């Protein structure tokens, strides 16, 4: 290892800031996915269960609608002008307030139509702050570590979603034990949302222990801050690049939200698992979600982001999509096989997706990186975030739960094709940040 490839305490702090911020950023987004099969009729009562579930997934989707807005505002006004740390700190404060308040909401039986309206308003506000946070969290680690470590650090940043699902699944398991049966519909789901207070610990860590990004400070000190990063992003210089990046991001986001977004409902309705069994299954599956992207990111450091993305898409077609057909054949009596299959799906579904965070950081220069990364990431995930709702509506229209496995199979194939198209069109980005740093260093001498 070269001397300048060594990780220092500053690098580790930047890396942990990315990982932990994204982890607790996503905790509440995943909480609603885990409790959807049980709270659907509390907020969106319907004689058709799948319509209630689809409506609840739609409330999950509303948070994604505001994520690109928050990303653009925070990226342009805060991250690229005032620094990555401020974007993280301001976003976490808003996230904690909006996430926790969801646990205090009245249900439809108590407040009527006001209940789902309040839920949607809070989800919209939460999405704004989640999008804003990414303008700092998704850049401070990947742009700051030595070149040798960018691949796995970017992959680990993506794997923060796996850590979030792991924490949310563990919390779901505990609430299922503490509030069994009908009691869960009274208090269990509320306690799930009260976990939205957890990001306060990350806020303290970032504010007091993490230094500002030196890569961003170098641009600031040279007077290279762009007046309007969002206008620059949409200029002819970056327009084609942005379109390709969105295609890749949408594809890998679909590979996250189709399996993980629908897993709890699939396990409950197809495999007939109980809440504690679902909790255990998702805890173990979440470990796969941690390992897959991190390993894929590290491999991309050796073979390139483009090739790694293509390989990941092929794995989806060959292994991940067919695995859902096999999973559907298992009953609750085969819990060990169900858990193992869920683990493999989670491990491989975003194996190639480990490139996304570092790929976006390498695609955009430091002067617009906060805006570019956050806007592309959140727009891609906003579009993909509609997939659980769309799939639920498709199921309701073509025969319901019996069609669940085949719909999952074809949805994953479509996602993989989108990834392949974007990956074939994109240029290789590995090493771009180091090249930019080398140029700015020479200019300042």
Band of the pLDDT at 111, cuts 50, 70, 90?
confident
- The pLDDT assigned to 78 comes to 93
- The pLDDT assigned to 128 comes to 93
Tell me the range of 31-40, 268-277, 298-307, 381-390 where mean pLDDT is highest.
298-307
136, 79 Cβ separation under 8 angstroms: yes
| Mean pLDDT (whole number) for 46-70 | 74
Band of the pLDDT at 343, cuts 50, 70, 90?
very high
pLDDT at 1 over 60: no
| CA 211, chain centre distance (Å) | 24
3-state secondary structure of 180: coil
20, 159 Cβ separation under 8 angstroms: no
pLDDT at 332 over 70: no
Q: Which residue has the higher pLDDT, 54 or 364?
A: 364
94, 151 Cβ separation under 8 angstroms: no
Domain at 384, CATH number:
1.20.1250.20
Among residues 51, 55, 65, which one has the least CA distance to residue 124? 65
Band of the pLDDT at 102, cuts 50, 70, 90?
confident
pTM: 0.87
What phi and psi, each to the nearest 5 degrees, are found at residue 46?
-155, 150
Q: In this predicted structure, which of 59-63, 186-190, 258-262 has the lowest mean pLDDT?
A: 59-63
pLDDT at 282 over 60: yes
pLDDT at 25 over 90: no
- Helix (H) / strand (E) element for 152: namely helix 150-178
The tokens of 235 are what?
């200029």
- The pLDDT assigned to 47 comes to 64
> Given 3-state DSSP classes, what are the helix, strand and coil percentages for the chain, each rounded to the nearest 5?
85, 0, 15
- The pLDDT assigned to 99 comes to 86
Query: Which residue range is the domain that position 251 belongs to?
Result: 3-444
pLDDT at 123 over 90: no
193, 103 Cβ separation under 8 angstroms: yes
Q: In this predicted structure, which of 28-37, 97-106, 198-207, 383-392 has the lowest mean pLDDT?
A: 28-37
Residues 6+ apart with CB under 8 A from 92: 21, 24, 25, 129, 133, 199, 200, 202, 203, 206
Number of domains forming the structure of the chain: 1
- The pLDDT assigned to 142 comes to 92
Cα separations in angstroms, 382 against 12, 44, 198, 249, 386: 30, 22, 24, 10, 7
Among residues 252, 215, 212, which one has the least CA distance to residue 369? 215
| CA 421, chain centre distance (Å) | 22
227, 324 Cβ separation under 8 angstroms: no
Burial 328-363 (b: 16+ CB within 10 A, else e): bebeeeebeebbbbbbbbbbbbbbbbbbbbbbbbbb
- The pLDDT assigned to 6 comes to 85
- The pLDDT assigned to 119 comes to 84
- The pLDDT assigned to 60 comes to 65
- The pLDDT assigned to 50 comes to 64
Q: Average pLDDT over the chain, rounded to whole?
A: 88
195, 168 Cβ separation under 8 angstroms: yes
pLDDT at 101 over 70: yes
Q: How many CA atoms does the CB half-sphere of 157 hold within 13 Å?
A: 31
Share above pLDDT 70 across residues of the chain, in percent, rounded to a whole number: 94
> What pLDDT digit, counting tens, does each position of 215-272 carry?
899 888 887 788 889 999 999 999 999 999 999 999 999 998 888 878 888 898 888 8
> What pLDDT digit, counting tens, does each position of 285-308 carry?
989 989 999 999 999 999 999 999
- With tokens 């850590």, the residue in question is 163
Q: How far apart are CA 52 and CA 393, in angstroms?
A: 10
Band of the pLDDT at 425, cuts 50, 70, 90?
very high
Among residues 268, 256, 44, 12, which one has the least CA distance to residue 144? 12
| Mean pLDDT (whole number) for 71-99 | 92
Band of the pLDDT at 441, cuts 50, 70, 90?
low
141, 15 Cβ separation under 8 angstroms: yes
| Mean pLDDT (whole number) for 364-378 | 93
Tell me the range of 96-105, 359-368, 391-400 where mean pLDDT is highest.
359-368
Q: In this predicted structure, which of 24-28, 31-35, 98-102, 122-126 has the lowest mean pLDDT?
A: 31-35
91, 140 Cβ separation under 8 angstroms: no
Q: How far apart are CA 310 and CA 251, in angstroms?
A: 11
Residues 6+ apart with CB under 8 A from 270: 327, 328, 401, 404, 405
85, 202 Cβ separation under 8 angstroms: no
Q: How far apart are CA 36 and CA 40, in angstroms?
A: 5
């Amino acid at each position: 290892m070269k001397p300048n490839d060594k990780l220092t305490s500053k690098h580790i702090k930047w890396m942990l800031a990315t990982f932990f911020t994204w982890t607790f950023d996503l905790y509440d987004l995943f909480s609603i996915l885990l409790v959807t099969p049980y709270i659907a009729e509390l907020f969106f009562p319907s004689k058709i269960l799948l319509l209630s579930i689809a409506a609840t997934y739609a409330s999950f989707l509303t948070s994604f609608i505001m994520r690109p807005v928050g990303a653009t505002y925070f990226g342009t006004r805060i991250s690229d002008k005032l620094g990555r740390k401020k974007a993280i700190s301001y976003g976490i404060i808003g996230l904690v307030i909006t996430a926790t308040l969801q646990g205090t909401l009245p249900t439809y039986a108590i407040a009527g139509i006001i209940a789902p309206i309040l839920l949607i308003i809070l989800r919209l506000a939460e999405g704004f702050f989640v999008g804003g946070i990414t303008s700092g969290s998704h850049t401070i680690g990947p742009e700051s570590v030595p070149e040798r470590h960018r691949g796995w650090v970017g992959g680990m940043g993506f794997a923060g979603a796996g850590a979030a699902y792991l924490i949310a699944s563990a919390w779901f398991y505990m609430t299922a034990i503490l509030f069994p049966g009908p009691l869960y519909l009274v208090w269990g789901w509320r306690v799930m949302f009260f976990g939205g207070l957890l990001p306060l610990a990350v806020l303290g860590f970032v504010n007091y222990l993490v230094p500002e990004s030196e890569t961003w400070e170098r641009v600031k000190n040279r007077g290279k801050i762009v007046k309007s990063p969002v206008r620059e992003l949409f200029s002819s210089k970056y327009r084609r690049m942005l379109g390709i990046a969105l295609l890749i991001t949408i594809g890998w986001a679909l590979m996250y939200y189709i399996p993980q977004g629908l897993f709890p409902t699939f396990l409950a309705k197809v495999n007939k698992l109980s809440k504690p069994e679902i909790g255990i299954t998702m805890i173990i599956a979440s470990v796969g979600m941690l390992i897959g992207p991190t390993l894929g990111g590290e491999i991309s450091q050796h073979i390139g982001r483009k090739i790694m993305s293509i390989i990941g898409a092929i794995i989806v077609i060959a292994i991940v999509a067919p695995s859902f057909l096999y999973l559907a054949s298992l009953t609750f009596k085969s819990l060990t096989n169900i858990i193992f299959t869920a683990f493999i799906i989670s491990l491989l579904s975003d194996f190639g997706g480990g490139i996304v965070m570092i790929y976006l950081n390498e695609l955009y220069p430091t002067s617009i990186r906060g805006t570019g990364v956050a806007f592309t990431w959140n727009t891609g995930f906003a579009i993909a975030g509609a997939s659980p709702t769309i799939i639920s509506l498709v199921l309701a229209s073509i025969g319901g739960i019996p069609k669940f496995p085949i719909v999952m199979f074809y949805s994953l194939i479509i996602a993989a094709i989108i990834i392949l198209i974007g990956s074939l069109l994109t240029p290789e980005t590995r090493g771009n940040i180091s090249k930019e740093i080398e140029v700015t260093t020479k200019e300042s001498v």
